[in-house]
Amino acid sequence: MSRYHIDITTRVFHFKEPAGTSRGVYRTRTSRFVRLTCDDLPEIEGVGECAPLPRLSCDDLPDYDAVLRRHCDDVCARGGIDVDALRDVPSMLFGLETAWRQLHAGGSTALSDTPFARGEEGIPINGLVWMGDFDTMAARLEQKLSQGFSCVKIKIGAIDFADEITLIRRLRDRYGSDRIELRVDANGAFSPAEAMDRLQQLAVNDIHSIEQPIMAGQWQEMARLCASSPLPIALDEELIGVNMPERKRQLLETIRPQYIILKPSLHGGMAGCREWIALARERGIGSWITSALESNVGLNAIAHLAAEVYGPAITIPQGLGTGQLFTDNIDTIPITIRGDRLWHGRH
């Protein structure tokens, strides 16, 4: 039996600008990196990123490092990954899946057999505009448009809603829906009582979809909104901590959203995201994949997952534009953004 070894290191990344959400502002990002080696594969290693989001991930644990060490030891002892044993710690599962795939790909960062992995095809991505005051958000929006993005996602819920509507209306007056696809992400900022009125105000501006209008855990309220909303609703935080297949089925059949948005670090690693996508497709529910503010190590793995499950020739923009957020990202990973597409390989 092959002998595996895993070393764990920790690194703190720094945002170029504070990343504001309705749940707070991130200025730094802490990741643990698992480095997997095997006695049978000398000179080769696989590296994965374990990066739970504070106050959001279901595995944001006070003893995270000790739990991660135990799971790493278990992977080494059994000579493989037990997905069921890692369902409740998705960020750890994702990191270990990534390391395993890279090791058995000969150490290559090409983690899939796809046109994306071969550098033949770029993945369309959306531009991301973080929350801030009105002038800051407007400037960020113009920057994304000048960079060539045709789909822009705007974080809302942190400033006055009337100002956010003004910003969106100003953008729509300048760029029609045939030119720019607009997505908004409320991160659960609306109350159930006010949500429908706000959805109606947003809908008149040709919004593609809204993520998580109300806080997670209110299945009946969310189901009511999804059934009568004038614009499509996408679930994100709602899926966190829903890790067992039967519970996933119950959620989708109860709420019946138009879309689900998947982050491997939050929603069950690669295996869990595949499970969500299969269940959603059976019910006619759309989906796309985004990062959870990982470094380029995690982002690369997520991009290869998207290329496998949606490709080739992905048409829906994915949320994979986060590699430019840090001042000190890992630049040895060969992924780059050109226009509104993410590419693998040196171009």
> DSSP string of 242-259?
--SHHHHHHHHHHH--SE
Check if 153 is active-site. Answer: no
Catalytic-labelled residue, pool 144, 153, 248, 263: 263
What amino acid is encoded at 195 in this protein? A
CA dist., res. 185 & res. 118, Å (int): 32
263 as an active site residue: the answer is: yes
Query: Catalytic residue among 144, 153, 155, 248, which?
Result: 155
Q: Between vectors from CA 269 to CA 264 and to CA 273, what angle results, nearest 5°? A: 70
Sign of the torsion formed by the C-alpha atoms of 213, 216, 220 and 223:
positive
Angle CA(123)–CA(234)–CA(219) in degrees, nearest 5?
A: 150
How far apart CA 259 and CA 212 sit, in angstroms, is 10
128 Cα distance to chain centroid:
12
* Nearest by Cα to 300 from 143, 42, 97: 97
Question: Per-residue b/e over 27-64, b at no fewer than 16 CB within 10 Å?
Answer: eebebbbbbbbbeebeebbbbbbbbbbeebbbbebeeb
C-beta of residue 245 within 8 angstroms of C-beta of residue 279: yes
| The two structure tokens encoding residue 312 | 């080739």
Q: Are 55 and 118 in contact (CB under 8 A)?
A: no
Q: Which of 207, 133, 134 is nearest to 172 (CA)?
A: 207
- Residues annotated as catalytic are 155, 263
